[in-house]
């Protein structure tokens, strides 16, 4: 997960994005999808959320409140503080040494959303140890050093840190450094969590987090592009190339339920229960958006020859060969056994598109992932010329 704090999401837009789903799910006025299989029969808890106003935080807050829990958030108070539900207690501070607001307080559980720096876990743990029963750390699948093994589970090898004192890193220094440090520092943050809360930690490793509020556009590209219609460049093999991601709402709601169940341990949190082919994803988006899109499937060799990069230029998609092959086929059986569920791709696509349409015009004009319309037209012309 990115270490910068993302803009607070306006949750009231979500209900319209999930209409028409019949009996699959029900959407409340707060934008929380409640599944009939998740009964609210738990004892209310006091939950502290570090962050709470980024991408997944607002969904955690809303879902926890909907299930009767008391929620406190701790952040800098700079990201739309007035938009927090009135039931939420907000503590103002900063993970960079301004933690006084956490002192002398007790909670049942703390959920740590935004942390990449191990010093942030250490400093919070020094104050919270003995004052919270469990520590939930939201990590990432990027912690794995080996990404070519299909079906790899939580026991896969982790990235190794090889650098100066990791406790001296700051957010600013990390932003100005190589992205290669992100995964090793996340691993060290996980280890700090385990060190300070042995037997009382829950570490969640999400895959690509998507849905309404995602400022990276790493999934948004597809609903926007498919909804525009016409000939759409689709990458790879439609039936053999699989994709994995998780809706931010599914991740947030499952995390809260794991807290309610007092579960501990380490879990890969990524979709789906059954493998999802790239073609199936695009067809579900097409049907949901009622688009006239026609997909032209372009093979990986041609795309690589044209300097089209999987994941960045063709979001969600991972090349079917190479060092990243397994990253779209990681094991999630452990999380599934603990009740991780997934809403339909159509739900995610519609809610994402609805959110995106509410962004300023200049924001909509420039997607942050995927290729431009001009570049797509050039690639399609070259592909057709080659196969005339």
How do residues 334-370 score in pLDDT, each as one tens digit?
999 999 999 999 999 999 999 999 999 999 999 999 9
Stretch 232-248: mean pLDDT, rounded?
Answer: 97
Query: Within its chain, how far is the Cα of 302 from the centroid?
Result: 30
Distance CA 145, CA 271 (A): 20
For 246, the token pair is: 């998780």
Stretch 186-211: mean pLDDT, rounded?
Answer: 98
- Answer yes or no: is 293 within a domain: yes
For 10, the token pair is: 């306006």
- Answer yes or no: is 386 within a domain: no
Distance CA 189, CA 193 (A): 6
Distance CA 28, CA 120 (A): 35
- Answer yes or no: is 75 within a domain: yes
pLDDT at 41 over 80: no
Stretch 316-327: mean pLDDT, rounded?
Answer: 89
Stretch 250-279: mean pLDDT, rounded?
Answer: 97
Domains: count for the chain: 1
- Which pLDDT score, from 0 to 100, does residue 388 have? 81
Ramachandran area for residue 77 (φ above 0: left; ψ -120 to 50: alpha; else beta): left
Q: Is 378 exposed, middle or buried (0-12, 13-18, 19+ CB in 10 A)?
A: middle
| Among candidate residues 70, 71, 69, 78, the one with its CA nearest the CA of residue 98 | 78
For 83, the token pair is: 């938009």
For 3, the token pair is: 């270490």
- Which pLDDT score, from 0 to 100, does residue 31 have? 41
Q: What percent of the chain has pLDDT over 90?
A: 80
pLDDT at 32 over 90: no
pLDDT at 164 over 80: yes
| Among candidate residues 131, 124, 127, the one with its CA nearest the CA of residue 108 | 131
Stretch 23-52: mean pLDDT, rounded?
Answer: 62
Distance CA 85, CA 145 (A): 40
- Answer yes or no: is 4 within a domain: no
- Which pLDDT score, from 0 to 100, does residue 171 have? 86
Give 10's strand partners.
none
Q: Which of 10-14, 114-118, 148-152, 161-165 has the lowest mean pLDDT?
A: 10-14
Give the range of the structural domain holding residue 27, as residue numbers without chain letter.
Answer: 11-380
**Cβ contact 80:131 at 8 Å:** no
- Which pLDDT score, from 0 to 100, does residue 79 have? 72
Stretch 139-158: mean pLDDT, rounded?
Answer: 94
Q: Is 174 helix (H, G, I), strand (E, B) or coil?
A: helix
Residue 39: pLDDT band (50, 70, 90) is low
Q: Is 58 helix (H, G, I), strand (E, B) or coil?
A: helix
How many CB atoms are located within 10 Å of the residue 173 CB? 11
For the stretch 229-251, what's the b/e string if a residue is b when 16 or more beta carbons lie within 10 angstroms of its beta carbon?
Answer: eeebbbbbebeebbbbbbbbbbb
Q: Which of 20-29, 100-109, 113-122, 276-285 has the lowest mean pLDDT?
A: 20-29
User: Mean pLDDT for the chain?
Assistant: 89
- Answer yes or no: is 196 within a domain: yes
The phi, psi pair for 133, rounded to 5°, reads -80, -35
pLDDT at 24 over 80: no
pLDDT at 122 over 90: yes
Distance CA 219, CA 268 (A): 19
pLDDT at 48 over 70: yes
Packing angle between helix 278-289 and helix 345-357, nearest 10 degrees? 60
CATH of the domain at 18: 3.40.50.720
Residue 133: pLDDT band (50, 70, 90) is very high
Q: Which residue has the higher pLDDT, 10 or 38?
A: 38
- Tell whether the torsion through CA atoms of 296, 304, 149 and 346 is positive or negative: negative
Residue 83: pLDDT band (50, 70, 90) is confident
- Which pLDDT score, from 0 to 100, does residue 357 have? 97
pLDDT at 15 over 90: no
pTM for this entry: 0.89
Stretch 63-69: mean pLDDT, rounded?
Answer: 97
Distance CA 307, CA 313 (A): 9
Distance CA 247, CA 242 (A): 17
- Answer yes or no: is 3 within a domain: no
Distances, alpha carbon 286 to alpha carbons 216, 228, 279, 294, in Å: 21, 10, 10, 9
- Which pLDDT score, from 0 to 100, does residue 3 have? 35
- Answer yes or no: is 385 within a domain: no
Q: Which residue has the higher pLDDT, 191 or 9?
A: 191
Q: Is 176 exposed, middle or buried (0-12, 13-18, 19+ CB in 10 A)?
A: exposed
Q: What percent of the chain has pLDDT over 70?
A: 89
pLDDT at 236 over 50: yes
- Answer yes or no: is 1 within a domain: no
Q: Which residue has the higher pLDDT, 3 or 208?
A: 208
What is the number of alpha carbons within 13 Å of residue 277 lying toward its C-beta? 9
For 295, the token pair is: 């997909």
pLDDT at 221 over 80: yes
């Amino acid at each position: 997960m990115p270490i910068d704090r993302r803009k607070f999401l306006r949750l009231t837009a979500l209900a319209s994005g999930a209409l028409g789903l019949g009996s699959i799910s029900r959407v409340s006025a707060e934008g929380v999808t409640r599944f009939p299989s998740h009964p609210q029969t738990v004892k209310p808890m006091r939950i502290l959320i570090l962050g709470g106003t980024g991408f997944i935080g607002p969904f955690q807050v809303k879902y926890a409140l909907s299930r009767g829990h008391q929620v406190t958030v701790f952040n800098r108070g700079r990201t739309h503080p007035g938009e927090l539900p009135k039931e939420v207690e907000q503590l103002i501070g900063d993970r960079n040494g301004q933690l006084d607001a956490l002192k002398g307080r007790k909670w049942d559980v703390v959920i740590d959303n935004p942390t990449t720096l191990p010093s942030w876990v250490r400093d919070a743990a020094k104050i919270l140890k003995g004052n919270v029963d469990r520590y939930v750390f939201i990590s990432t699948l990027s912690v794995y050093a080996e990404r070519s093994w299909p079906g790899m589970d939580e026991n896969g090898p982790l990235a190794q840190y090889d650098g100066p004192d990791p406790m001296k890193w700051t957010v600013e220094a990390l932003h100005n450094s190589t992205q290669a440090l992100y995964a090793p520092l996340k691993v060290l943050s996980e280890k700090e969590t385990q060190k300070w809360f042995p037997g009382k930690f829950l570490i969640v490793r999400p895959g690509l987090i998507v849905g309404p509020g995602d400022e990276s556009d790493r999934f948004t590209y597809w609903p926007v592009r498919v909804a525009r219609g016409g000939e759409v460049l689709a990458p790879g093999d439609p039936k053999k190339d699989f994709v994995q991601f998780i809706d931010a709402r599914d991740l947030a709601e499952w995390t809260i339920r794991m807290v309610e169940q007092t579960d501990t341990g380490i879990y890969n949190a990524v979709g789906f229960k059954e493998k999802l082919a790239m073609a199936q994803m695009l067809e579900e988006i097409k049907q949901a958006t009622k688009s006239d899109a026609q997909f032209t499937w372009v093979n990986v060799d041609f795309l690589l020859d044209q300097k089209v990069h999987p994941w960045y230029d063709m979001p969600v998609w991972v090349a079917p060969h190479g060092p990243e092959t397994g990253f779209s086929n990681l094991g999630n059986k452990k999380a599934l056994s603990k009740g991780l569920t997934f809403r339909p791709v159509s739900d995610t696509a519609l809610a994402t598109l609805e959110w995106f349409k509410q962004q300023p015009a200049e924001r909509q004009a420039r997607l942050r992932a995927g290729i431009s319309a001009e570049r797509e037209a050039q690639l399609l012309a070259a592909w057709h010329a080659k196969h005339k």
